[in-house]
């Protein structure tokens, strides 16, 4: 008997249903997650993470919470740069497939088991669209990052250039689900392009980060705009 799809890409879930569906989806695709990532991005994801860590601009030994850490790619990159990562993810399957030596914990990025102002920085890769409440997430970032600390959020994007956007749409809408279906789970990789619809317009997202208590909020487009990197600094009381 065939299994029901782990997530319905044509009817994007919200609220608790979304949390359950996203967790189940990542539990299912965890064993082959890294392989599909490398294949579908032609290894560009590795360079994007490296750039993200560089743009954190934190000194060696800084503590960085990698939120929605998945299989730990960001933790590996942070360790290579001399930083001290701690990974958090909702999916036990993803954590169980991780290859990092960084401490990892199963936790919701919206309710982190961290004291106030306890980390120097935060990284988060390709997870914003999976969260149920982006505003709540930004408030949680403002709570756990110390004043003057940094955040770097990497996410997919849709290119503004119409030709690139068309090609990108075909690749992510048709080719990626096939690659995902061959190597891993087709439903999950059909959800990937559709889930971009969860993201608010860039100016709304940046404005919300500023309201949450971040300054120097910046957004860089990577590789022709198929990826975006949002960076910001937690405001210090004397700057307010």
What 3-state class would DSSP assign to 117?
coil
Q: Which residues in this chain contact ligand SAM in the complex, by CB under 6 A?
A: 22, 26, 68-70, 73-74, 88-91, 94, 108-110, 125-127, 130-131
What is the nearest approach in angstroms of ligand SAM to the Cβ of residue 33? 7
What 3-state class would DSSP assign to 184?
coil
Nearer to ligand SAM, 189 or 214 (CB): 189
What is the nearest approach in angstroms of ligand SAM to the Cβ of residue 171? 17
What is the nearest approach in angstroms of ligand SAM to the Cβ of residue 82? 20
Measured CA to CA in angstroms, residue 95 lies from 9, 68, 127, 157 at distances of: 24, 10, 15, 25
Nearer to ligand SAM, 34 or 210 (CB): 34
What is the nearest approach in angstroms of ligand SAM to the Cβ of residue 200? 17
Nearer to ligand SAM, 108 or 185 (CB): 108
What is the nearest approach in angstroms of ligand SAM to the Cβ of residue 48? 9
The answer to whether 58 touches 64, Cβ cutoff 8 Å, is: yes
Q: CA-to-CA distance for 235 and 122, rounded, in angstroms?
A: 14
Nearer to ligand SAM, 58 or 68 (CB): 68
The secondary structure of 36-95 as a DSSP string is HHHHHHTTHHHHHHHHHHHHH---TT-EEEEET-TTSHHHHHHHHTT-EEEEEES-HHHH
The answer to whether 129 touches 155, Cβ cutoff 8 Å, is: yes
Nearer to ligand SAM, 32 or 215 (CB): 32
For ligand SAM, the nearest residue by Cβ is 70
């Amino acid at each position: 008997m065939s299994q029901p799809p782990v997530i319905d890409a044509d009817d994007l879930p919200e609220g608790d249903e979304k949390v359950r569906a996203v967790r189940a989806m990542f539990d299912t695709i965890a064993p082959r997650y890294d392989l599909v990532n490398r294949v579908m991005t032609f290894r560009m994801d590795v360079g994007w993470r490296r750039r993200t860590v560089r743009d954190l601009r934190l000194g060696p030994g800084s503590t960085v919470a990698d939120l929605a850490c998945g299989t730990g790619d960001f933790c590996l990159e942070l360790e290579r740069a001399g930083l001290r990562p701690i990974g958090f993810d909702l999916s036990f399957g993803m954590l169980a497939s991780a290859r990092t030596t960084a401490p990892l914990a199963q936790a919701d990025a919206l309710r982190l088991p961290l004291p106030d102002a306890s980390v120097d920085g935060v990284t988060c890769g390709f997870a914003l669209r999976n969260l149920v409440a982006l505003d709540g997430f930004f408030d949680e970032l403002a709570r756990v990052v110390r004043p003057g600390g940094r955040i770097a959020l990497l996410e997919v994007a849709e290119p503004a250039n119409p030709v690139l956007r068309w090609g990108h749409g075909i690749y992510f809408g048709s080719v990626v689900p096939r690659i995902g279906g061959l190597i891993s789970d087709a439903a999950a990789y059909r959800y990937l392009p559709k889930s971009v619809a969860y993201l608010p317009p860039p100016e709304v997202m940046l404005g919300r980060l500023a309201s949450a208590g971040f300054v120097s909020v910046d957004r860089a487009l990577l590789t022709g705009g198929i990826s975006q990197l949002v960076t910001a600094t937690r405001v210090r009381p004397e700057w307010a």
